[in-house]
Amino acid sequence: MANLVLFGAPGAGKGTQAELMNAWLPVPRVSSGDLFRYNLSNNTALGQTAKAYMDKGELVPDDVTVAMVAERLQRADCDAGVILDGFPRTVAQAEALDRLLGEMGRRLDAVLFIQVARQTLLQRLAGRWTCPSCGAVYHEVFNPERNKGLCDVDGAKLFQREDDTPETQARRIDVYQEQTAPLEAYYRTRGLLIEIDGEQDIEGVQAQIKTAVQAL
Ligand code: ADP
Ligand code: AMP
Ligand code: ZN
């Protein structure tokens, strides 16, 4: 059983690291951003609500976000634990998560804080390419696909996220500083925060995460 949060600014590498953790930690990754994008592409009511916020790089309201994640956590595949990616993003969401896990007789084991400087975040977001089919994430310089423009896993045509424009990228990092960064203190106080040097290359970051989780 492992209930983990991957915490860090947009572009820190949370999704990339969560995917790699699959190889040695058999618990599902739950990404609130992916859940919103799934709803968006299926044009659900939830997707329509979220779109206006996502387009601007703002956070979707807490009640909507918490309800969506709560529903996902209650599915059977999360019984063995979960790696949360992109959730929680506000103190209210963190409190809701504590409550949700408590109701399931569980609690968080650790919050892995992937620390990356703003300049690096911008470089990573600017070169990010995503697979529409399997969600794999590439970077045109730091983690290029083997065949230009095509996913290594399934050959689908890669795309750049609509919210990866320079303006929205900068806004998302500001929103992180204003609304999400306070979670660092929230989790440090509770003794859950583990600091990871996110400036290292993808393998270097993964090695730190693996060592930290195996020591729990
Ligand atoms: P997040 O989920 O935190 O927003 P991603 O995992 O999508 O971040 O990574 C953002 C971009 O940075 C992607 O293009 C990814 O390939 C690249 N990236 C992730 N980790 C690293 C790293 N340690 N070094 C260089 N590039 C990275
Ligand atoms: P991400 O894929 O994590 O970069 O998230 C993309 C967008 O989805 C964010 O910019 C927000 O608009 C929205 N989003 C994702 N997770 C959350 C969350 N926990 N709380 C509020 N909004 C979120
Ligand atoms: Zn793919």
pLDDT tens-digit readout, 127-168: 999 998 888 999 999 999 999 999 999 999 999 988 888 999
Which two structure tokens, joined as six digits, stand for 131?
Answer: 């697979």
pLDDT tens-digit readout, 168-183: 999 999 999 999 999 9
- Please, what is the angle between helix 32-41 and helix 45-56, to 10°? 120
**Distance of CA 60 from the midpoint of ligand 2 (Å):** 7
Report whether pLDDT(39) > 90.
yes
Q: Is 49 in the pocket of ligand 1 (CB under 6 A)?
A: no
Report whether pLDDT(186) > 80.
yes
Stretch 61-77: mean pLDDT, rounded? 96
Domain ranges of the chain: 2-116+199-210
Following CA atoms 181, 20, 5, 53 in sequence, which dihedral angle do they give, to the nearest 10 degrees?
60
Is 99 marked active-site? no
Report whether pLDDT(1) > 80.
no
d(CA 24, CA 60): 32
| Listed residues: CB within 5 A of ion ligand 3 | 131, 133-134, 136, 151, 153-154, 156
**Which residues, at least 6 apart from 14, have a Cβ–Cβ distance to it below 8 Å?**
6, 7, 8, 31, 85, 86, 114
Ligand index nearest the alpha carbon of residue 47: 2
SS3 readout for the chain: CEEEEEECCCCCCHHHHHHHHCCCCCCCEEEHHHHHHHHHHCCCHHHHHHHHHHHHCCCCCHHHHHHHHHHHHCCHHHHHEEEEECCCCCHHHHHHHHHHHHHCCCCCCEEEEEECCHHHHHHHHHCEEECCCCCCEEECCCECCCCCCECCCCCCECECCCCCCHHHHHHHHHHHHHHHCHHHHHHHHCCCEEEEECCCCHHHHHHHHHHHHHCC
Is 75 marked active-site? no
CATH architecture of the domain 2-116+199-210 equals: 3-Layer(aba) Sandwich (3.40)
Which two structure tokens, joined as six digits, stand for 21?
Answer: 């953790």
| CA within 13 Å, CB half, 58 | 9
**Distance of CA 58 from the midpoint of ligand 2 (Å):** 8
Average pLDDT, the chain: 95
pLDDT value of position 163: 85
pLDDT value of position 134: 86
